Amino acid sequence: VCVCGFLFFNRQHTSLDVTLPEPIPLDHPLLKLPNCVIFPHIGSASQATRERMAALAVANLMAAVCGQDMPHKIC
- The residues that are catalytic are 41
Dihedral of CA atoms 54, 21, 33, 5 in degrees, nearest 10, equals -120
Beta bridge partners of 36: 14
In single-letter form, the type of residue at position 48 comes to: A
